[in-house]
Amino acid sequence: MAQLIEGNAVIGQSGGPTAVINQSMVGVVQGLLSEGAGSPNNPIKRILGMRHGVRGLTTDQLVDLSEKSHEELEAVAATPSAALGSTRDKPDASYCERIFHACEKHDIRYFFYIGGNDSSDTCRIVNELANKSSYELRCFHVPKTVDNDLPINDHTPGFPSAARFVATAFRVDSLDNESIPGIKINVVMGRHAGFLTAAAGLARDPSGHPDDGPHLICVPEVAFDLDAFCERVAEVYDRLGRCQIAVSEGIQDRDGQSIGAMLIQGDADAHGNVQLSGSGALGDQLSRIIKERLKPRNGNAPRVRADTLGYLQRCWPDASPIDSDEARRSGRYAAKLAASGDLDGSVAIIRTGKGYDGEAYASELDRINLEQVAAQTKHMDLEYMQGDFDISQKFRDYCGPLIGELPTFGRL
């Protein structure tokens, strides 16, 4: 165990906000405080927060979190979105230089960064540069992403709450679609991984009505074939007079080309990603195509509507209880790693209790190397799918326990 070096800690939030990212931030603060941070003889002095991630760190926009009351921190923990502010900046070498200068200037020796793929890579780069220089900086990454696409982690904080929103949305939207029948597309977040779109399948209560939606689930991991898709839509529509469809914003063809990018003109962010969220274009284009394809069948285009579930997926104030708990624990665990003398690392969630087949759900946290998670994207295993357009029981077993109880409904 390395000896603790004296200095301040700083916490940042990065990437898209979630319903529970503030739980992780407060977890780090409370974890450091419970290790004695700020006490006269403790090596960890003040606990600072970066405003808008590394952007705030390099522009001296810091907030002292040591001074916040317990009540204040608990209120923030229960608040969706990133209370410190977030950023999509991806530091290059010169940016990282500025981060070091800021760390020196503010006597920062403990660096906590809460985020997803890109954010963990920022953390890794900062850590490597610190290792190469003579500046002793201990970097810890705390996982967060509604996309659920970090490796090693059974799942990532933020995902269960987003999945809860998506499943709830599909469940009520299926009732809506049943009351005024038609074809309904709901576009779900997830640029590269289909976990969140697959969660739409949990809207179907296994003990409920067999005709409940969603009737088709399209994830990026299954090559999107427009002909096969339209055929399946027509088949369901002929049988039920309606069809509810879950489409990932990240669906791609068999060459890996994004269907959304092909259909829409978007702008790219600092990471070179084309804008898929915050636009209704993919859903609208698929609507148009379905109308055109199905019209010749009986002369009338079917009623097709598309909603893009949008940013509410990541910040709806009805977090999964398991998610809130694990996000908090992840933050505390990172603080404990730092106080235990670990030099760096990322926190990973390991499932230790299945949550089905009579076994209670349980999870533990583990330290993994930053390199194991940085800039890596985990795709959804195809065993979570049954055919091209539905989830499997295995996904139901995997995801169901994470999202908490969904509202159940009566029917005539």
Instruction: Please list the active-site residues.
Output: 147
Strand residues in 35-137 grouped as ranges (E): 44-50, 62-64, 108-115
What is the spatial distance between Cα 305 and Cα 225, in angstroms, rounded to a whole number?
20
Residue 106: Cβ within 10 Å count: 16
- Three-state DSSP class for 372? helix
Looking at the DSSP bridge assignments, the partners of residue 48 are 10, 64
Identity of the residue, 161 or 258, whose beta carbon is nearer to a copy of itself in the bound complex: 161
Cα separations in angstroms, 241 against 124, 182, 292, 390: 52, 7, 17, 19
DSSP at 234: H
Please report how close the Cβ of residue 31 comes to a copy of itself at its closest, in angstroms: 18
Task: Give the footprint of a copy of itself on this chain (CB under 8 A).
Answer: 13, 16-17, 49, 52, 63, 65, 68, 72-88, 168-169, 172-173, 175-176, 178-180, 184, 267, 275, 277-281, 283-284, 287, 291, 301, 304-312, 314-318, 407, 409-412
- Three-state DSSP class for 149? coil
Please report how close the Cβ of residue 69 comes to a copy of itself at its closest, in angstroms: 11
Identity of the residue, 311 or 356, whose beta carbon is nearer to a copy of itself in the bound complex: 311
Identity of the residue, 86 or 120, whose beta carbon is nearer to a copy of itself in the bound complex: 86
Output the DSSP codes for 171-227: HHHHHHHHHS-SEEEEEE--SS--HHHHGGGGGS-TTS-TTPSP-EEE-TTS---HH
Structure tokens at 317: 């104030």
Identity of the residue, 30 or 127, whose beta carbon is nearer to a copy of itself in the bound complex: 30
Identity of the residue, 38 or 181, whose beta carbon is nearer to a copy of itself in the bound complex: 181
Please report how close the Cβ of residue 175 comes to a copy of itself at its closest, in angstroms: 4
Please report how close the Cβ of residue 377 comes to a copy of itself at its closest, in angstroms: 21
Please report how close the Cβ of residue 313 comes to a copy of itself at its closest, in angstroms: 10
Please report how close the Cβ of residue 296 comes to a copy of itself at its closest, in angstroms: 16
At position 135, the amino acid (one-letter code) is: Y
Identity of the residue, 127 or 320, whose beta carbon is nearer to a copy of itself in the bound complex: 320
What is the spatial distance between Cα 54 and Cα 52, in angstroms, rounded to a whole number?
7
Q: 44-50 and 62-64 as β-strands: parallel, antiparallel, unpaired? A: antiparallel
Looking at the DSSP bridge assignments, the partners of residue 365 are 349
Identity of the residue, 317 or 353, whose beta carbon is nearer to a copy of itself in the bound complex: 317
Q: What are the residues whose beta carbons fall under 8 Å from the beta carbon of 218, sequence distance 6 or more? A: 197, 224, 229, 245, 246, 247, 248, 251, 389
For 201, list phi and psi in degrees, rounded to 5: -65, -20
Its sign, for the CA torsion 101, 106, 107, 111, is: negative
- Angle among Cα 411, 396, 19 to the nearest 5 degrees reads 85
Please report how close the Cβ of residue 84 comes to a copy of itself at its closest, in angstroms: 6
